[in-house]
Chain A
């Protein structure tokens, strides 16, 4: 599944200072859909290069990280249960960095 992942608000520093990542996420064997929960695990092991605790807490994002799916706060689409589709744009913004 082709997705665009964007980091902002300082989170890009955790992935070699690259803000926008065009990625192709393989669905797990037998799975038909990809949820945000799956994507977070994928991002954690494929894009985040350092200090993962700044990004994740448990199986979700750390409090203080905003998540937008297609420019819509993921709280409106079910957070971890949000299902993703091809060409979706997922944005992570840290609210905790800087003044």
Chain B
């Protein structure tokens, strides 16, 4: 027992399967091996490194933006990526990119965390705000539309805000962190709804724990996910500074049935989360759903399969005082608005999604 800073447990402290030297601290969900803290860091970080190398994600000299919300996923991603960049000489210029949705008591606090991360990891930070980009804060939007569809606005605006921030930073690629549990939950919900074709949404978030470039989607085929438990354990052991309050406008984001179900499955079978993601991929491959052709929004130039991008449709509604334009199904929308919807954007609208599960 030579782990200096922790008190060794008496009988039963098993040794790590990998180094056979230190006391095991946790079980790997993939293999059920019991491993020590040092070997866990190694395995966790090198798994991400391997994906980066195998898929040639980055080229030396590239500028890479890291979507940083102050939450655990993006904090761990930023930390690991800057470590790997140093350790393996990627030669990347890394930047933190944050979106300020304008949510008092939530985003202002989490942005403080990101500002500390800027100092702790020595990565320059850029913050783009809904107010600057769209003229509205989430607080103002909620005041106007209430708490029913606010996460639709939040999600659509956030994705586009990240891309715009990426353009301002002139980064070559933008990476966002997602944990395996969130991805598995989305896969499960899609399958349960029998809505295998909802790939637009799935595509946005399936792209792994560690990579992806929104503008060149072809490049985003590889995936690696780390389980939520591992991300939290890693963050705790490394004493990473992250923000863990739920969005005040979606306080129930994680209390759904699907999440409880996934956590119960994981208890019985730690691999379950990764297996669910795998079946989601198989589903995707098995179905030959045509992805809508990508063009550009006639209004703002953002990537869009329709005449106007979703953000512009939503924004138009807000500015005209008809905030239901572009939201969900036609239920509750009168004929006038329906016509409006058809004219501006004939596509199936994404359903209001808890923004917690789309966080970056």
Residues of A that sit less than 8 Å from B by CB: 8-10, 13, 63-64, 66, 68-73, 75-77, 85, 87-89, 91, 93-99
Q: Which residue of chain B has the shortest Cβ distance to A91 in the bound complex?
A: B236
Listed residue (B7, B9, B34) with the most chain A CB atoms within 10 angstroms of its CB = B9
Residues of A within 8 A of B126 (CB): none
Known: A63-B260, A71-B237. A95 touches B232 (CB 8 A): yes
Task: Count how many chain B residues have C-beta atoms less than 8 Å from C-beta atoms of the other chain.
Answer: 45
Cβ of B264 under 8 Å from chain A: yes
- 23 A-B interface contacts by CB (under 8 A): A9-B72, A10-B245, A10-B246, A63-B266, A64-B228, A64-B259, A64-B263, A70-B6, A70-B7, A71-B25, A72-B9, A72-B25, A73-B25, A73-B27, A76-B14, A76-B27, A93-B233, A95-B181, A97-B246, A98-B242, A98-B243, A98-B245, A99-B359
12 additional A-B pairs beyond A72-B9, A91-B236, beta carbons within 8 Å, are: A10-B244, A64-B228, A66-B233, A76-B14, A76-B24, A76-B27, A76-B34, A96-B259, A97-B244, A97-B254, A98-B71, A99-B356
Known: A91-B236, A98-B245, A99-B69. A72 touches B24 (CB 8 A): yes
Cβ of B73 under 8 Å from chain A: yes
Tell me, in angstroms, the Cα distance from A37 to B327 when the chains sit together: 48
Tell me, in angstroms, the Cα distance from A11 to B144 when the chains sit together: 32
Q: Which residue of chain A has the shortest Cβ distance to B232 in the bound complex?
A: A95
A88 x B7 contact (CB < 8 A): yes
Cβ of B229 under 8 Å from chain A: yes
**Whole-angstrom distance from the CB of A66 to the nearest CB of chain B?**
6
Residues of A within 8 A of B236 (CB): 8-9, 66, 68, 91, 93
A72 x B232 contact (CB < 8 A): no
Residues of A within 8 A of B260 (CB): 63
A63 x B267 contact (CB < 8 A): yes
Residues of A within 8 A of B228 (CB): 64, 95
Q: Which residue of chain B has the shortest Cβ distance to A82 in the bound complex?
A: B9
Cβ of B173 under 8 Å from chain A: no
Cβ of B12 under 8 Å from chain A: yes
Cβ of B360 under 8 Å from chain A: yes
Q: Which residue of chain B has the shortest Cβ distance to A84 in the bound complex?
A: B9
Cβ of B353 under 8 Å from chain A: no
Cβ of B74 under 8 Å from chain A: yes
Q: Which residue of chain A has the shortest Cβ distance to B178 in the bound complex?
A: A99
**Whole-angstrom distance from the CB of A49 to the nearest CB of chain B?**
17
Which are the 6 A-B pairs with shortest beta-carbon distances?
A: A99-B359, A63-B263, A99-B71, A10-B244, A73-B26, A98-B244
Tell me, in angstroms, the Cα distance from A13 to B239 when the chains sit together: 18
Contact of A85 among B10, B72, B244, B359 (CB under 8 A): B10
**Whole-angstrom distance from the CB of A84 to the nearest CB of chain B?**
10
Cβ of B63 under 8 Å from chain A: no
Tell me, in angstroms, the Cα distance from A99 to B247 when the chains sit together: 9
Tell me, in angstroms, the Cα distance from A97 to B231 when the chains sit together: 13
Known: A72-B24, A95-B228. A87 touches B7 (CB 8 A): yes
**Whole-angstrom distance from the CB of A97 to the nearest CB of chain B?**
4
A66 x B229 contact (CB < 8 A): yes
Contact of A71 among B37, B242, B264 (CB under 8 A): B37
Tell me, in angstroms, the Cα distance from A68 to B234 when the chains sit together: 12
Tell me, in angstroms, the Cα distance from A12 to B243 when the chains sit together: 12
Tell me, in angstroms, the Cα distance from A87 to B228 when the chains sit together: 29
| Residues of B214-250 contacting chain A, CB below 8 A | 228-229, 231-233, 236-237, 242-246
Residues of B within 8 A of A8 (CB): 236, 244
Tell me, in angstroms, the Cα distance from A85 to B8 when the chains sit together: 11
Cβ of B324 under 8 Å from chain A: no
